Amino acid sequence: MLGAFLIKYINPTYLQFIIALFLIGNIPQLFKSSKNDENSSKMYPKSILAIIGFFAGFFSGITGAVGLLFNRFYLKYGLTKEEIVATRAANEVFLHLIKLIIYISLGLYSKTALYIGLSISLATIVSSISVRYILPLFSENLFKKIGYIAMVISGVSLLFTSYQEIIKQDKIIMLLDKIHFII
């Protein structure tokens, strides 16, 4: 609710830029051996899980879906591929339904946003049912590598789009032209 409330005051483009850098920071994970990866799994206290859940909801309230941002946490936590898929599916369904209610109550919705939110919830349910048949084809290590690859690719894409948006909205090119003219 706090994230949805702050969307009126915070420019989500800057937060997306920071999230992009965090996602790109997963590049070293792509080159770790599976042996090192097994040793790095750790169980966190439940209070950490609550904090992660809070930030997932908070960032999602401001920028939209941020599921990939928390993949690294799930992978490091030592969850199996089935547990990660189930956790992500449950998070997405409940988070988007709650966001719809909050956005509607704050007057921040449109019909398009409503349809997108409902579509994401429905797609999550369909994908989590169908993934039961696909997931056994992947080893745990391959699943983790695919997860890290998805995070890095998404980070690069988000960095590019948020960078372009920042330049456009803040008129940085015109500012650089003025500085260059003065020099």
If one counts every other C-beta atom within 10 angstroms of the C-beta of residue 63, the result is 21
Is pLDDT at 14 greater than 70 in this prediction?
yes
- pLDDT of the residue at 153: 92
**What distance in Å separates the CA atoms of residue 126 and residue 120, rounded to the nearest whole number?**
10
* Inter-residue contact 57 to 3 (CB < 8 Å): yes
The pLDDT of residue 163: 85
- CA distances 130 to 121, 124, 126, 136, Å, are 14, 10, 6, 12
> What is the spatial distance between Cα 145 and Cα 136, in angstroms, rounded to a whole number?
15
Mean pLDDT of the chain: 77
Q: How many structural domains comprise the chain?
A: 1
Which residue range(s) make up the domain with 98?
Answer: 2-182
Choose between 26 and 99: higher pLDDT. 26
How far is 71 from 144, CA to CA, in rounded Å?
9
Q: Provide mean pLDDT across the span 29-58.
A: 71
The segment with the largest mean pLDDT, out of 20-34, 62-76, 135-149, is 135-149
Residue 88, token pair as written in the block: 């992500």
Mean pLDDT highest for which of 16-20, 38-42, 60-64, 101-105? 16-20
Q: Which residue is listed with tokens 């850098």? A: 21
Task: Report residue 108: phi and psi, to 5°.
Answer: -105, 20
Lowest-pLDDT range, 9-18, 63-72, 107-116, 129-138? 63-72
